[in-house]
Structure formats: structure tokens, C-alpha cells
Amino acid sequence: MLEENYIELLNISREIREKILIMHAKSNESHLGSSLSIVDILTVLYFQILNINPIDPYEENRDRFILSKGHAASALYAVLAKRGFFEEKLLDTFAEDGGRISVHPERFSVPGVEASTGSLGHGLSIGVGIALTAKKDKKTFKTYVLMSDGECEEGSIWEAAILASRFKLDNLVGIIDKNKWQAYERTDKIQNLSLLKSKWESFGWSCREVNGHNLQELIQVFRGIPFEVGKPSLIIADTIKGKGVPEIEDKMEWHYKSPKIDELEKFIKSLRKSV
Amino acid sequence: MRKAFVKKLEELVSKNQNIYLLTGDLGFSVFDHFKEKFPDNYINMGLSEANMIGVAAGMAMSGKQVFVYSIIPFITFRCLEQIRNDICLQNLPVKIIGVGEGLSYGTSGPTHHSIEDIGVMSSLPNLVVISPGDPIEVEKITEQSLGLDSPCYIRLGKSGEPSVNSHEVELRIGKGNIIKEGKDIAILSTGNMLSTAIKVSNALEYEGIDSTVVSLHTIKPLDEVLLKDLSAHKQHIFVLEEHVASCGLCSRIAFYYLQENIKVNLTCIGLPDNFVTLVGSQEFLRETYGIDVRSIKDRIVSTIRR
């Protein structure tokens, strides 16, 4: 990638993080850390990888993106707005009384939100249904589903994983945001995270591990999909919860807290310094 | 009823290849012909009901007409949140087909009984809840379900339910099917209680009681026009269901009359709020719980002559 394009992409991801900080400070809503950890993944997807058109958001052959970890919807809204799906000023109404965008995303609440999520373990099955239909209809678009590492404790994920492999859905891409925190514990204390890749592989998926904050690496790995013909692809993205603001990074409390208005300036300064 | 469903589905798929049937690894001798004839439209999803509902949602998002099929507790309670979030919240017109309503799987025991599903499924916004009364209603409702804009849940008997209606019957989802009209009382039945309702009505004739019989196949939305009409006739209304009465059709009817401030004499004839752990056939269990023809007839007679 050209140096200038890379810098532009970096700027976009920083701007999105700023927006997210402001949205959470203003609304006093939770899951800030979960949103910040997926910003680079979303930036790469929405600005480099997905075949989408903000002017025609429901075009039949568009790539589908499902945010299965729906609690990080602030990041999705910020990216969609930045990509031109709707006006950025709508972000100011995040979780506001009578507003359109809630903490967990609603299908069609704003253009670009493909599925209502918020309860974990739902998105992959929906993605399998879409990818399976695409195969039946001989459509060439891809379906991307972003999950969290903790989410892999939901049994329905593995039901979907079995089916995706059985139907050779190489048009389906699972992404795991491995930020190593779940709501109330280190993920590794609840499940053995070192087995994550081998679990997916044993379910018939082709897996790659990637630094989930390295834009170049992310682009490269996404461009290699499908990793194997006839197999669904899984990307385990190693991330840091709260990435971008050192005061927030890798701390469980930022699953719950939101910046106070007077902290906001400090956090934005830290962000500009660190990214 | 399930044979009627499969037969109708075959006919529909032969005209419209956009229809899919997803099953939870069951249907020996029921789907044999279907899956041979339409291998592309039949998918055995394996034992993964939660995933099956999510996949159906994804397929419906992509414009497919999807029927999901399993035994009632597995296709309702097991995957309730998927039904709620993936199908009902997103208002996708998936058709959820449950087999084994009420005590159809009598001897299989309480894990297989379906006596609370009306209550649970009727609580979900956007979902149309239907319990057809006989194989002919099953056929007509299956066909009409393709025209619904919202999801539906259709609960079927297992097998052997007699046909009560003629093939010419005019039937609409959401409208009670009036089987006969009488001047003294009204019997509203849902699902597999229909043939019992008719036998009760015949037995009441010998007692000099002339009854209206309605197959109220659509539990949600309720046919409020019909209910209002019935209340205007000032007849005592008896509701028959092989389901826990406190969370089934009758309780929904009672709620409607209460909300509308309509005074009626209403008697719920169904099952108590218990698991049925007694071992036995559907017929045996109905007799035990007083929802067989004779018990219902006696109860109606004693109620109105009290």
C-alpha cells in the first residue's frame, strides 16, 4: 500500500476512535473498551475490503458484515458514518432518548446495519444462512461475522461452525476480536484461549492469526480470503481492549465505565499521541 | 396433520423453488419422498436448533421462504432467544413448524409434551401463532403462510387427527372457522381438540343443548370480530385446548374481554399448570385430565345447569 494511503487509513481509525470516545462520554454508556478494540478491523473492512456502496446500501451483491458482538455497536455506527452511510451528526444521538441508534444495533435502524445483535452467539448462524443462500443462488459476495473471544463460549457458535464447514462455505469469514477480556474476567480464565485456533481448525475452518491493530497485516490477511477453497475462513485478531488510549487499554473496568466530560480532552490527547 | 403438511409443502415447492425446508434431524417416513424429490430444497440441519433458527433468519434476509421443522419443545423452548431476536425482532417471515402439539407424544413423557408452547410463543411480538384443527386446515394454512409478511408458528398434531372440514371450506389465517352454529352455547376449540369439540357438541344435542363450534386455529392475532360477535349473543363460551389453560388460548380470550370491558360467561377447559409426569397415551392422559369427550360434555352440562 502507498505510504499516503496508509497514513490516511491511520487517520481514519484515529478519527473513529475519537468519535467513539465522544459518543460514550456524552451518553455515559458502557462497552467503550469493546468498541475501541475493533476499530482497526472495521476500518480495514469498510475502507479497503468490503464491496459496499453507501449510496445503495442494500444492493443485492454487496458484501455483508454482521457485528455479532453487538455490544460494540458504537464502533460500527462511527465507521458507517465515516464511510458515508449516514450523516456523522447522527452519532451525537447515540443512546439518546427517542434516538435511532441504541447501544446494541438494530437491523435497518440506520443504513448499513445488517442484523439486530446484542445477545452473543447469534451472528454466525445468521451469517451461515446468508452465505449458504449465496452459494445456492450462485452469488459471489462474501459474508463477514465479527465475534468476540468470550463469545466463543456460546454453544450456538459451534453449531454454526459445524454447518459452515459441512457446506464448504468459503464465502464466509469469521473474525474473532481476541482482546482477552470478557465482561467480568480474563477470557483465558474462563476458556483456554491457546486452544482457540486448533478448535476452529478441528471444526473444519481455515484459520489465520493476525495483529488486529496492524492495518497492513489486516489488509493482507483479508485479501487472502478464502484461505483454502472449500473451507470457511477464520481470522483470530489479537487486539487490546480499549486500544488507542493508554489510560483505558487492557482494563476490565472500561467494559463498564465511560469517560467523564472533563476526562475526554485528556483521553483524546493521549489517543493522538499513541496512534 | 404432519402428512398433510408435507403433502402440501411438496406441492408448493414444485411450483416455487425458492421454498426451503430445514429440519432438526427427524422425519423418518415423513420426509422420505420430499427429500428425494427436492434434494436442493431440503436440509437436515442436524441437532442444532438454535443454529437452525439463525440460519433460517439469514436465508430469509436473502429472500428465501423458509420452513423450519422439529418436535415442538425443541423448535420453541430450546431456541427461544434465536426465535425472539433473529426472527421476530427482525420480523422475517420464517415459518416455524412444530410437531406433536399437546399430549400427542403422550408416552414419550414431559420432555416431549407441548402444553406451554402457546403461552411462550404468543408472548413474542410479530409472531402469528396458529394451531390448525384438522389436516385440511393444515393444508390451507400452510399455503397461506407463504403470503404472510411476518413470521409464524404453526403447531401440528402428530398423526391420525381426523378431517373435520371439507376441502371446500373457506379458511383464512386470523379468522375463526365456524364449523356449526347453535343457539345455546359456544365451543371454541384450538388445534387437535377440534374433533373432540364436535363430538361434545353432538353429545350435547342429546341433552337438548344446541352449540356453536368454532375452530379458532389462529391464536395470535385473535379473531376479535368473532369474539365480539359471540359475546353479543350472550352465550356461555367454553374454550377447549390440549394445553395449560392459564397460558393458552383461553387466557388470551379472557384478557381480550377484560380489556374491552365485555362481560361474558367463559369457561377454560384445558390442562392444569403441571408437568404431565403420569405415563400414558394421549387418550389415557386426556381422560385423566378431564379433556376427553365425556368429561367435557359433563362439565359443560353441569356448568350451564348450575
What's the one-letter identity of residue B47? L
**To the nearest whole angstrom, how far is the Cα of A221 from the nearest Cα of chain B?**
26
For residue B22, what is the enclosing H or E element?
A: strand B19-23
Give the three-state DSSP class for B169.
coil
Binary contact (B50, A136; C-beta < 8 A): no
Q: What would the pLDDT profile of B230-274 be if each residue is shown by its tens digit? A: 999 888 999 999 999 999 999 999 999 999 999 999 999 999 999
Say if pTM beats, i.e. exceeds, 0.90: yes
Residues of A in contact with B62 (CB under 8 A): 129-130, 133-134, 137
Q: For position A11, which CATH number holds?
A: 3.40.50.970
**Could you say which residues from 160 to 199 on chain A have a Cβ atom under 8 Å away from some Cβ of chain B?**
160, 162-163
Binary contact (A125, B57; C-beta < 8 A): yes
Identify the residue among A60, A116, A125, A158 best suited for mutation to test binding to B, counting B beta carbons within 10 A and taking the highest.
A125
Interacting residues of B167 by C-beta distance below 8 A, sequence separation 6+: B136
User: Alpha-carbon distance A104 to A44, whole Å?
Assistant: 22
Q: What is the structure's pLDDT at B160? A: 87
Q: What is the mean pLDDT of residues A24-52?
A: 97
What are the angstrom distances between the C-alpha of A68 and each of A120, B76, B231?
Answer: 6, 22, 49
Q: Which three cell numbers stand for residue B132?
A: 390448525
pLDDT-derived band of residue A274, with 50, 70 and 90 as boundaries? confident
Interacting residues of B292 by C-beta distance below 8 A, sequence separation 6+: B196, B283, B286
pLDDT-derived band of residue A183, with 50, 70 and 90 as boundaries? very high
Q: Which three cell numbers stand for residue A95?
A: 443512546
CB B282 within 8 A of CB B103: yes
Identify the residue among B51, B70, B80 best suited for mutation to test binding to A, counting A beta carbons within 10 A and taking the highest.
B51
B268 interfaces chain A, CB cutoff of 8 Å? no
pLDDT-derived band of residue B130, with 50, 70 and 90 as boundaries? very high
Q: How many CB atoms lie within 10 A of CB B306?
A: 5
Q: What is the structure's pLDDT at B283? A: 96
Q: What is the structure's pLDDT at B234? A: 84
**Domain residue limits at A85:** 3-274
pLDDT-derived band of residue B149, with 50, 70 and 90 as boundaries? very high
Interacting residues of B95 by C-beta distance below 8 A, sequence separation 6+: B65, B66, B67, B68, B145, B151, B152, B154
A187 pLDDT above the threshold of 80: yes
CB A125 within 8 A of CB B58: yes
Residues of B in contact with A131 (CB under 8 A): 58
3-state per-residue secondary structure call for B119-166: HHHHCCCCCEEECCCCHHHHHHHHHHHCCCCCCEEEEECCCCCCCCCC
Q: What is the structure's pLDDT at B254? A: 98
pLDDT-derived band of residue A3, with 50, 70 and 90 as boundaries? confident
Identify the residue among A66, A147, A156 best suited for mutation to test binding to B, counting B beta carbons within 10 A and taking the highest.
A156
**To the nearest whole angstrom, how far is the Cα of B84 from the nearest Cα of chain A?**
11
Q: What is the mean pLDDT of residues B115-122?
A: 98
**To the nearest whole angstrom, how far is the Cα of A232 from the nearest Cα of chain B?**
15
User: Alpha-carbon distance A103 to A71, whole Å?
Assistant: 6
Tell me how many degrees the CA angle A25-A26-A28 measures, rounded to the nearest 5: 65
CB B54 within 8 A of CB A122: yes
Q: What is the structure's pLDDT at B36? A: 97
Domains of chain B: 2-156 (3.40.50.970), 177-304 (3.40.50.920)
Query: Which of A106, A116, A132 is nearest residue B59 as measured by Cβ atoms?
Result: A132
Nearest CA in chain A to B57: A126
What's the one-letter identity of residue B159? S
Residues of A in contact with B52 (CB under 8 A): 125
Q: What is the structure's pLDDT at B142? A: 98
Residues of B in contact with A130 (CB under 8 A): 58-59, 61-62
Q: What is the mean pLDDT of residues A82-89?
A: 98
User: Alpha-carbon distance A112 to A86, whole Å?
Assistant: 9
Q: What would the pLDDT profile of A113-148 be if each residue is shown by its tens digit? A: 999 999 999 999 999 999 999 999 999 999 999 999
What are the angstrom distances between the C-alpha of A179 and each of A13, A36, A247?
Answer: 17, 10, 16
A vs B: CB pairs below 8 A:
91
Binary contact (A128, B51; C-beta < 8 A): yes
Q: What would the pLDDT profile of A250-261 be if each residue is shown by its tens digit? A: 999 999 999 999
Query: Which of A116, A137, A160 is nearest residue B85 as measured by Cβ atoms?
Result: A116
Q: How many CB atoms lie within 10 A of CB A1?
A: 13
What are the angstrom distances between the C-alpha of B82 and each of A64, A127, B72, B98, B223?
Answer: 20, 13, 15, 15, 28
Q: What is the structure's pLDDT at B199? A: 98
A50 pLDDT above the threshold of 80: yes
Identify the residue among A133, A157, A167 best suited for mutation to test binding to B, counting B beta carbons within 10 A and taking the highest.
A133
Radius of gyration of chain B (CA): 19
B58 pLDDT above the threshold of 90: yes
A116 interfaces chain B, CB cutoff of 8 Å? yes
B170 pLDDT above the threshold of 80: yes
CB B123 within 8 A of CB B102: no
Q: What is the mean pLDDT of residues B163-189?
A: 97
Q: What is the structure's pLDDT at A162? A: 98
A5 interfaces chain B, CB cutoff of 8 Å? no
CB B295 within 8 A of CB B267: no
Q: Number of folded domains in chain A?
A: 1
Q: What is the structure's pLDDT at A1? A: 77
pLDDT-derived band of residue A2, with 50, 70 and 90 as boundaries? confident
